[in-house]
Structure 1
């Protein structure tokens, strides 16, 4: 037997907490290649200057600068790098009074001032921060519709800004392909109705199932990602700083760019660290959602469950460590489990897509195929409602102790980051996923 440490919640020192299990030496561990640390202030500021100076020179002094950052669920070393950003801009003659930060909540709830100070450091006290509210229609400018009918509604401030800069961590996203970058603009700063119109593309009404191409790390045959690309072409130009995180949530390197090709290059680099080939499926998989903040609530933890589930064979079991200290993290998730089943929830979402309905369907799809047990702080009744069993670490250890000696076990110590890609192609006009 060997002892393994699985990230769980937050430790007393503010870092990640851990839980231990004893597991067979024969277990198959899925791990990734950690990005090498390459963050240095002078290099960061030089590359930022190279990225934005041409635009600032063209626009002249007193340029209005909009900086878009993520919320507490997707931090990107902000306390360290935001001072570098504002100092560089000031050296390029940008008036501090002309710098405005926008927190890209999307449909997430607003953070407290204490949470913001912890996330962004003293910059939060010294500069203007806008807490985005997706429900205030008057703050958006209409720029038409995408080819799939999604309204393109952009914050008026972005349309009038002399420079728009996104700063955030790039990640795999369970239905958009990739998070960060362009998703900071939309849905991060999107209008609620437009966000739901885009997210509705996760559903395939013709097949009465989830769209096959909507998978983490996939942009081929992904209708939702294609819609984001269409939307991006209609929006004001912006520049991006993409952060690549290591397994501890620290920024290991930054990629600067201002084009879609730069975004794709950043995605390729992310894949080079965190995408692995799936060897096989297993009757039992032990996984962690990655600890805080990846398991801050169930909505965030679900992304990790989604990444680990393909490793489990039909009828098998996934044991997931996910603290969920903030509960579900959404008011629009649980109602879909009270509609009578998959078919009723799917029909309702096709007609009226709201909130985390797609997440609810994705969860139902998994629990129809495999058993899921959670080590979590979620209420036991809520766990039953969403189709999972709440267990303790001791109960998880008993499962491992009682296994047959020839039982194959897969282990993913941080499934928030690890993606096992499947082949996706087009056949007969339809998106096809190959095992």
Structure 2
């Protein structure tokens, strides 16, 4: 039997390109079609079904193979593998654990908490239970200064999910890197750690953009579908721009938010917390947990440093005002307002697709 992990609809992974050669190789090796499970590593995201499932893998694979979703909140579908040295209980989807051959696919790009996506992340948080993710995504990890975009060395989020992935096991990975046009720029395959590190080395060469000094104003976006369909996802565009903006500066971000704010749990966080400062104090205590709180924690990091002007047609202004951002009708208007505030000589950086660029300030 074989289990192949794929990213969900929130990642622009070219599964229709990656899966056919993997499936052909398995068939040539004698693995029967009925022994193959393609498991969508949803993490804590909603399942991808119907048209979305077909969009993910293509009509032929959807019709001829077992393609199923991971449900992180259903503990009964997970196997307990033990507890890490940092006291993270490890629960991983049983359908993966029970497979004789374990393969993961994915996309390597900058990631706001784990340094880079891909590799080990398909296993944790991809197919981990909420009981695992809520500790691994807790403030004891995310508030660490090295739990940041583009950082692997000393990053506790990366270190921990690598250890968790090794506990679960992985026989082979196939990861890609993409251009801004979503074209494949490289493919790495083989050992989970070695192939991932090779892919990261390639990405580092192409995503870093050096600045002489932080800017007053940074204009960016959530990088379009599927990365900006919710406010939850759009936070990644804000964090991507964060190194480029000075303390007290402004990030202007455009995102579609066609699917609204995010999960019901994420929405509830804004209703329960009048301020981001109060929210951070609550999560630092031991008795408060709401799923998806980690994204609000990242939003709090952004707002500690700068203001955020948010441009979208997907959410009304009165809703945006409750999300700790400032609603603005157009990017042009947001730029004019910011120039009025900082002066005509203000330094401005433009990052067309926020999550795909890693700004580095010289020195």
TM above 0.5: yes
Per the alignment, in what secondary structure is the counterpart of residue 262 of structure 2? Answer: coil
Shift of residue 328, structure 1, vs aligned partner: 1.4
Deviations 1:334-375 (A, max 9, x none): 333332323431233232333221221221232233121111
- CA shift, 1:250, in A, is 2.6
1:20: which partner in 2? none
Q: Matched residues in 2 for 1:143 and 1:200: separation?
A: 20
Quote the residue 1:327 is aligned against: 260
The reply to whether residue 77 of structure 1 matches residue 46 of structure 2 is no
Which of residues 300, 307, 312 is equivalent to 1:371? 307
Distance 1:96 1:70 in 2: 21
Q: Residues 365 and 397 of structure 1: is their aligned pair in 2 closer, same or farther, counting only changes over 3 Å?
A: closer
Partner of 1:34: none
Asked if residue 222 in structure 1 is aligned to residue 155 in structure 2, the reply is: yes
Change (3 A) 1:361 1:397: closer
**1:306, CA displacement in angstroms?**
0.4
Superposition deviation, residue 235 in structure 1: 1.8
**How far did residue 400 of structure 1 move?**
7.4
Report 1:126-205 matches (<5 A).
126-201=64-139, 203=141
Q: Which residue of 2 aligns with 1:348?
A: 282
Q: Is the 8 A contact 1:243 1:251 kept in 2?
A: yes
Cα-to-partner distance string for 1:11-68 (whole Å, 9 max, x where unaligned):
xxxxxxxxxxxxxxxxxxxxxxxxxxxxxxxxxxxxxxxxxxxxxxxxxxxxx01010
Report the 3-state secondary structure (helix = DSSP H, G, I; strand = E; otherwise coil) of the residue aligned with 2:137.
helix
Q: 1:421 to 1:331 in 2, by over 3 A?
A: farther
User: C-alpha separation between the residues in 2 aligned to 1:194 and 1:346?
Assistant: 20
Offset, 1:191 = 0.5
For 1:396 and 1:323, how far apart are their aligned partners in 2? 16
CA distance in 2, matches of 1:422, 1:349: 31
Structure 1 residues 254-265: aligned runs within 5 Å: 254-265=187-198
Distance 2:173 2:277 in 1: 40
Paired position in structure 2 for 1:314: 247
Gaps of 5+ in 2: none
- 1:244–1:251 CA contact under 8 A, matched in 2: yes
Tell me how large the CA RMSD over aligned residues is: 2.1
SS in 2 for 1:319: strand
Count matched residues: 356
Matching residue within 377, 380, 399 for 2:317: 380
1:65 aligned residue = 2
Whole-angstrom CA distance in 2 between matches of 1:398 and 1:252 = 37
Structure of higher CA gyration radius: 1
Partner of 1:415: 354
SS of residue in 2 equivalent to 1:276: strand
Give the Cα separation in 1 of the matches to 2:30 and 2:249.
Answer: 60
TM-score computed with the length of structure 1 as normaliser: 0.77
Would you say the 8 A contact 1:286–1:320 is kept in 2? Answer: yes
Q: Distance in 2 between matches of 1:203 and 1:158?
A: 26
Counterpart Cα distance in 1 of 2:85 and 2:339: 55
Partner residue, 1:99:
36
**How many Å separate the matches in 2 of 1:162 and 1:203?**
32
Equivalence for 2:57: 120
Post-superposition Cα deviations, 1:169-206, rounded to whole Å, max 9, x if no partner, equal: 112111111212211111111101111110015557xx
Q: In the alignment, is the contact (CA less than 8 A) between 2:91 and 2:131 conserved in 1?
A: no
In the aligned structure 2, how far is the partner of 1:340 from the partner of 1:298? 18
Aligned match for 1:302, one of 229, 235, 242: 235
For residues 259 and 310 of structure 1, the distance between their equivalents in structure 2, rounded to whole angstroms, comes to 29
Q: Any conservation in 2 of the 1:283–1:313 contact (CA below 8 Å)?
A: yes
Residue 397 of structure 1, CA deviation: 5.7
Unaligned runs of at least 5 residues, structure 1 = 1-63, 205-209, 424-434
Contact kept in structure 2, 1:158 and 1:164, CA below 8 Å: yes
Q: Given the alignment, which residue of 171, 175, 178 partners 1:242? A: 175
Report the secondary structure of 1:332's partner residue. helix
Aligned twin of 1:339: 273
User: Whole-Å Cα distance in 2 between the matches of residues 392 and 364 of structure 1?
Assistant: 23
- The structure with higher relative contact order (CA 8 Å, sep 6+) is 1
